[in-house]
Amino acid sequence: VQLVESGGGLVQPGKSLKLSCSASGFTFSSYGMHWIRQAPGKGLDWVAYISSSSGTVYADAVKGRFTISRDNAKNTLYLQLNSLKSEDTAIYYCARWTTEGIGDYWGQGVMVTVSS
């Protein structure tokens, strides 16, 4: 199992960014997936969830600004980040979620820095 995030970088407040998480080594379409972020020196903060059937749930802090999606044909998870704020600065991890409710595999993370 491997999860590899990409698409991070430095972006100005109010701008957009799209993160990708390429999955391999398992049947991607069968798993719910999450995005979880970690601000520098801080704890883990859940961002969004997409089920195997593409139902979605968002944290209040990102609702209306971020969109999680998946392309099962490409084994890829996405996170579209719009109207970015400085408080969105963090490492963003994608994680595979088990039916027991734990992230059993995590990507290495991708850094998003929102600054003018």
Partner 1 sequence: EIVLTQSPTTMAASPGEKVTITCHASSSVSYMHWYQQKPGASPKPWIYATSTLASGVPDRFSGSGSGTSYSLTINNVEAEDAATYYCQQWNYPPITFGSGTKLEIK
- Residue 66 C-beta: closest distance to partner 1, Å: 14
103 and 83 Cβ atoms separated by less than 8 Å: no
- Residue 32 C-beta: closest distance to partner 1, Å: 9
Of 12 and 99, CB closest to partner 1: 99
**Alpha-carbon Rg for the chain in angstroms:** 13
Binder among 4, 46, 67, 111 for partner 1 (CB under 8 A): 46
- Residue 89 C-beta: closest distance to partner 1, Å: 17
Q: Is 70 in the site for partner 1 (CB under 8 A)?
A: no
How is residue 99 written in tokens?
A: 């039916």
13 and 85 Cβ atoms separated by less than 8 Å: yes
Burial 64-88 (b: 16+ CB within 10 A, else e): eebbbebeeeebbbbbebeebeeeb
Binder among 13, 57, 74, 87 for partner 1 (CB under 8 A): 57
* Sole window of 13-21, 22-30, 69-77, 100-108 interacting with partner 1 (rule: CB under 8 A): 100-108
